[in-house]
Amino acid sequence: MRVLLFLFALQYAFPSLLTEEVRLFDLEPADAQKIIENHDQSLHYAPKIESNVPAIRFLGNEPHHVKEDIYLAKQYHGQDGIGGYIYGYNVPDIAKTERKKAGGDLRGAYNYISGGKEIKVEYWDNGNGFHQIDNVPKILPKQIDDSPEVKAAKEKFLARWHEEAERNKHPVTDPYNSEGQYASGPLSAQGQLEFKKQFQQQYQQGQYQQGQYQKPGQYQ
């Protein structure tokens, strides 16, 4: 089985002057797996090897003389021919690596510089879904302050709510009895009975005059 393992290192500014390349072909899967498993996956940024090196860069057809820093970047890739692989690279501000086994287990990580701070990310998939941990700053939700109109409406509502809650602590007595009649007062059965008695007494005593009416309790 033909298997390719590819390791590659290069210098940033002058790749034609300093380039290292390693290629391994026609490896058996078992031998390729050993190389993949033993390969260093530690994350390092490309080191600077020279500073302020004179160079010529073209903007369109016009050459420009510049000075550049030179870093030793690296890139590697390998596969075993039966589903497993490894790859990674490092440049001045980014470093990444990832390895997958033939059985499906995958693990990787990458670091990078953002705003002067190093961000570190690790991820994996062991057959139970994708997972990730990192040190990316978490943006927590922030409570939005109410506008004056909304604040006033809330205060009015809460004041009314407390008012009704206090009123419910002293419920009004049900004026009706179990038979749907007034439980007390002049319209209750007892009140009407008393009114009838008082009316009869006034009639018998000759104190009732047609067209006059006195409330219960006011008869002389």
Per residue in 176-208, pLDDT tens?
666 666 556 555 666 667 666 776 666 666 654
The one-character DSSP state at 138 is P
Residue 217, pLDDT > 60, answer no
Residue 194 belongs to a domain? yes
Residue 1, pLDDT > 60, answer no
pLDDT tens-digit series, residues 106-128: 999 999 999 889 999 999 998 88
> What is the average pLDDT score of the chain?
79
pLDDT reported for residue 11 = 44
130/164 same-domain check: no
* 27-41, 64-78, 155-169, 189-203, range with the lowest pLDDT: 189-203
Residue 219 belongs to a domain? no
Residue 101 belongs to a domain? yes
Considering only residues 177 and 105, tell me which one the structure prediction assigns the higher pLDDT.
105
Average pLDDT over residues 150-165: 92
Amino acid identity, position 119:
I
Residue 76 belongs to a domain? yes
| Domain finish residue from 134, 161, 176 | 134
- Within 8 A by CB and 6+ apart from 110, the residues are 43, 94, 95, 96, 97, 121
Give dist(CA 35, CA 60) in Å, integer.
44
Residue 217 belongs to a domain? no
Give dist(CA 134, CA 140) in Å, integer.
16
Give the pLDDT band (50/70/90) at residue 153: very high
129/159 same-domain check: no
154/96 same-domain check: no
The one-character DSSP state at 160 is H
pLDDT reported for residue 41 = 87
| Domain finish residue from 93, 115, 134 | 134
Residue 33, pLDDT > 50, answer yes
pTM here is: 0.54
25/110 same-domain check: yes
Token digits for 168?
A: 């419910």
Give the residue ranges of DSSP H helices in 133-215: 148-168, 189-204
Judge contact between 11 and 53, C-beta under 8 A: no
The one-character DSSP state at 15 is T
Cβ burial of 31 (10 Å; 0-12, 13-18, 19+) is middle
Domain region containing 102: 5-134
Classified as helix, coil or strand, 220 is: coil
112/205 same-domain check: no
Give the total number of structural domains in the chain. 2
The CA-to-CA distance between both ends of the chain, in Å, stands at: 126
Give dist(CA 183, CA 202) in Å, integer.
26
| Domain finish residue from 134, 156, 184 | 134
11/80 same-domain check: yes
Residue 24, pLDDT > 60, answer yes
61/87 same-domain check: yes
130/157 same-domain check: no
